Amino acid sequence: MGGGNDWYGPQWTREELLGPLPPPPEFNISLETIRERIATAIGKVTVPREVRVWHPAIQRLLNNDEVHREKLRTEPYYWHKPLFESPLEMRRLRLLNSLFVAIGKLNGKASPEKDALNATLTFYKQHIPIMLGPSKQPRRKESPERDKDGLTLAILESYHSEKEVQSWRDGDGSRLEQQMTAVAVEVVLLAEAKYRESVLWRYEYRIKRKAELEEEDRRRKIEAERAEQERIKRLEQERVDGLLSDAAAFQRSAAIRQYVQAIHTRHASSPVASDEEIQHWSEWALAQADRIDPAVRGNFLVRMRQAQQVEK
């Protein structure tokens, strides 16, 4: 039987998923050989009429029944009744008891519900749901009295599902007591088959997730490259816009200086104000020209240096 395999370990990290894939899982032993080994390990499963030692899971059900009986004797209005009073119910418990003991030889764990109609058998994280209850219809019409208490034990497709994967029942000259060895073997074998299916599924899932993550990374890289190209393009456009703005400012500053020179020429031939007023106005106008002139003190390089800092 499988088990203890690291495929059932923690979920893979992103780094593990993007790393090298392990070799595909292989099962060198056929299920038929596994069936033979299971049958040998379990041996013959018998269902005694008198059970001396109950399986712990069954004993808990019986203990719970005893609590109900005690309360019924002492509390007049207590309404819970014991579940396992009739011969049919005790027979169901004996059948389950033998099955639980048998699968325990291969580390199987049993978890019956409180009415024991449904139970879950667990092997290495593989859960096998079963049902043991009255047969839905008589197996033989000629003997309805005998078949009315017939039982069916079924492996279900999923927990509380009504779909049976495999079933055994009273009838046709064979009681469930004579079929419990086959039941135990098939339950354990199904757990092994499900284990193998889950290992293969996890491997295929890992391949799928690796491909998805690689595609996500590829798209993320393309998006980052596109965003970087747009950023560089935007910065270049800002530098060009700044250059045009500086050129326009340079022209305006030159026009101011030309204007100041013209005023001085006009004042020399036809004064309109005192020399002090003209000088004061000229200094102010030329200061404005220097302020907007990008060529003064190398201001035209400021935009380029700022762009270089952003690019870094």
CB of 47 within 8 A of CB of 98?
yes
Averaged pLDDT for residues 274-287: 91
**What are the tens digits of pLDDT across the range 50-74?**
999 999 999 999 999 999 888 888 8
From CA 254, how far away is CA 175, in angstroms rounded?
Answer: 114
Q: Which of 104, 87, 100, 81 is nearest to 50 (CA)?
A: 87
Nearest CA to 233 among 311, 301, 138?
311
pTM higher than 0.75, yes or no?
no
Average pLDDT over residues 284-295: 90
Give the CB-side neighbour count of residue 149, counting CA atoms within 13 A.
10
pLDDT of 145 over the 50 cut: no
Selected residue with higher pLDDT from 174 and 45 = 45
Cβ pair 181, 45 in contact under 8 A: yes
* pLDDT tens string 72-127: 888 877 788 889 999 999 999 999 999 999 999 999 999 999 999 999 999 988 99
Domains of the chain by residue range: 11-213, 228-311
C-beta of residue 121 within 8 angstroms of C-beta of residue 191: yes
CB atoms within 10 A of CB 58: 23
Q: Please determine, for residue 141, whether its predicted confidence score (pLDDT) is greater than 60.
A: no
Q: Which residue has the higher pLDDT, 218 or 298?
A: 218
Q: Sorting pLDDT into bands at 50, 70 and 90, what band is 7?
A: very low
pLDDT at 103: 96
* Residue 73: predicted pLDDT: 83
Q: Give percent above pLDDT 90 in the chain.
A: 64
Decide if pLDDT at 312 tops 70: no
- 160 versus 227: which is more confidently predicted? 227
* Average of per-residue pLDDT across 21-46: 94
Q: Do the beta carbons of residue 300 and residue 294 sit within 8 Å? A: yes
Q: Give the length of the chain.
A: 312
pLDDT tens for each residue of 199-240: 999 999 999 999 999 999 999 999 999 999 999 899 889 888
Instruction: In whole angstroms, give the CA distance from residue 101 to residue 58.
Output: 10
For residue 245, pLDDT over 80 is answered with yes
The pLDDT, as a whole number, for residue 310 is 60
Average pLDDT, the chain: 88
Residue 148: which pLDDT band, with cuts at 50, 70 and 90?
low
